[in-house]
Amino acid sequence: MRRNVLPGLHLSLGITLFYVGLIVVLPLAALVFKAASLGPAEYWSIVSSPRALASYKVTALSALVATLFNLVFGLALAWVLTRYRFPGRRIVDAMVDLPFALPTAVAGISLTALFSNNGWFGSVLSEAGLKVAYTPIGIMIAMCFTSLPFIVRTVQPVLEDLDPALEEAAQSLGGSDWTIFRKVILPLLTPALLAGLSLSFARSLGEFGAIIFIAGNQPMSTEITALLIFIRLEEYDYQAAAAIASVLLLTAFAMLAVTNWLQSRALRYTVKG
């Protein structure tokens, strides 16, 4: 039997399982338990109320747009950071992590100040007829801000490990730049992009602090699901809060399951056999 450096299976498995149970499973179980204490009819009426439905729509749609935007922009940023050496590269690289480090409420307040009608960006944009603050566009921008690092940080290491000889081989075989990107580089980045995408989407679904300041929070139009849960909690309606939260939870689960499946499909080629 192989001897490991760290303590054996029993101890390490025990500690980790206990921890996962305490920190992750228990709160989720309490949430499901609370939601389940409602009858099916009551549960359904809460989660399918017009106000809840409107909040799902704006949350999911904004999260989708923000994630797709970050997919393109994050990939470009990761590409620039790994492929080019320019002055200030390390500073840009460090700045990518700022959305992780910054309290999201601070980000929300700064974004609101920038994009409100008399802010630096907002004043220019409102002249052009585009209103950002207190609209779904504001929500998207806040989501973009908080979830950008996920795509960059998942794609970057894979790009760094990509053998330059692969591109050279494709060139020597006559491939154009676009063909090489599409047929060689992109397929190899797909698993990392999917991982970044699912993390980014899940984070956007649950984001609260950065959004509530810029969203305007009008029920039926710019009220996100996380805020609706918060409102129900403040009304001491724990069951309704749990019910709506369970919808978010299920969505995130489904999303993770689908991307995991896509990822394993995209990684078929690594299976030895």
Partner 1 sequence: MEIRLDNVIKTFDTFRAVHGVSLTVESGELIALLGPSGSGKTTILRMVAGLEYADGGHIYFGDQDATDIPVRDRGVGFVFQHYALFPHMTVAENIGFGMSVSKVKRSKAEIAARVNQLLKLVRLEGLGDRFPAQISGGQRQRVALARALSVDPKVLLLDEPFGALDANVRHDLRRWLREIHDELGITTIFVTHDQEEALDLADRVVILKDGKIVQQGTPQEVCRDPKNAFVLKFLGDANRLIGEVRDGQARVAGVAVAAADGVADGPAEIYARPRDLDWSAAGPGVSATVSRVLDRPGERRVIATASTGELLEFDVDPERDITAGDTGFVTLRRAKVFAI
Helix (H, G, I), strand (E, B) or coil at 49: coil
Query: How many Å apart are CA 38 and CA 49, to the nearest integer?
Result: 15
From 160-168, 208-216, 218-226, 252-260, span contacting partner 1 (CB under 8 A): 160-168
| Both tokens assigned to 239 | 């069951």
Which residue in 94, 98, 166, 258 binds partner 1 (CB under 8 A)? 166
Query: How many Å apart are CA 234 and CA 212, to the nearest integer?
Result: 15
Phi, psi of 3 (to 5 degrees): -100, 125
**Which residue, 226 or 266, has its beta carbon nearer to partner 1?**
266
Which residue in 120, 168, 219, 258 binds partner 1 (CB under 8 A)? 168
Can residue 161 be called a binding residue for partner 1 (CB under 8 A)? no
Neighbours of 257 (CB within 10 A): 11
Smallest gap from residue 193 Cβ to partner 1 (A)? 13
Which residue in 183, 218, 260, 264 binds partner 1 (CB under 8 A)? 183
Which residue in 46, 170, 193, 243 binds partner 1 (CB under 8 A)? 170
Can residue 260 be called a binding residue for partner 1 (CB under 8 A)? no
Q: Which residues neighbour 23 within 8 Å (Cβ) at sequence distance 6 or greater? A: none
What mask of x and - would describe binding to partner 1 in positions 9 to 48, judged by CB under 8 A? ----------------------------------------
Neighbours of 207 (CB within 10 A): 25
| Both tokens assigned to 144 | 């973009």
Closest by alpha carbon to 74, among 152, 168, 162, 159? Answer: 152
From 44-52, 92-100, 116-124, 179-187, span contacting partner 1 (CB under 8 A): 179-187
Which single residue is written with the structure tokens 């799902």?
A: 56
Smallest gap from residue 198 Cβ to partner 1 (A)? 20
Can residue 181 be called a binding residue for partner 1 (CB under 8 A)? no
Query: How many Å apart are CA 77 and CA 120, to the nearest integer?
Result: 25
Can residue 175 be called a binding residue for partner 1 (CB under 8 A)? yes
Q: Which residues bind partner 1 (CB under 8 A)?
A: 163, 165-166, 168-176, 179, 183-184, 187-188, 266, 268-273
